Amino acid sequence: FVAKGDDFRGFADAVGAAALANTPADLDALNAGEIEGGSVDHVRKELIAKIGENIQVRRFVTRASADGVFGKYLHGDRIGVICEVSGGDSALAKDIAMHIAASKPVCVDESGVPAETLEKEKAILMAEAEGSGKPAEIIEKMVGGRLRKYLAEITLVGQPFVKDPDQTVGKLLKSANASVAYFERFEVGEGIEKKSENFAEEVMAQVKGG
């Protein structure tokens, strides 16, 4: 695979170092930045010509914190996570990053769920419940309960902690007087149509085993 080649890895490392050093505002600025051999975009095009595969710099994030603790976790070459934890230590931050890699939350808490996503899910649940033929007040309660379950599944604080499923991440953070200010999860191939493989399950197995 191209992604496992030394040339590709070297390019990826150089681009990452440039993003960290220069904190570019967007992809255009990153692509215009200088690395060994010329601009990122120039070196990218040379690499395409050399290995014969289409290579694109698709996304990056940079983050600075005055008082938070950063946690990071890499699952092989497939999944990478960074998170910022306030009020906790580096061990907690790493555990949270590992959890995010495995459980793939959409956002930290309910406040981060887009209104349109919530409305869409509620409409789906309402349509399903109305098919039951039950009274309106019962349907409303059914939908409310299922919506709460949905929110718990997609929010970081609502998910069962992978290393201790008897407690949620929210309870873990509360016991440590900590909170998560931010997280980012990247998985190879996200947004690109590809063969379905459950890398989250791999992460869970690794976390529980170690």
Specify the range with the lowest mean pLDDT, choosing from 9-13, 24-28, 128-132.
Answer: 128-132
Specify whether 148 is located in the same domain as 159.
no
- Domain annotation covers residue 57: no
User: What is the band of 196 on the pLDDT scale with cuts at 50, 70, 90?
Assistant: very low
Non-local CB neighbours of 105 within 8 Å, separated by 6+ positions: 154, 155, 156, 159, 183
What's the pLDDT tens digit per position in 28-80? 999 999 999 999 999 999 999 998 888 999 999 998 888 899 999 999 888 99
Specify whether 172 is located in the same domain as 141.
no
pTM (2 decimals)? 0.80
What is the structure's pLDDT at 5? 82
Residue 193 has pLDDT above 60, yes or no: no
> What is the spatial distance between Cα 63 and Cα 74, in angstroms, rounded to a whole number?
17
Task: Kindly report the CATH number assigned to the domain that includes residue 90.
Answer: 3.30.479.20
Q: Which domain holds residue 189?
A: 69-111+155-209
What is the structure's pLDDT at 198? 59
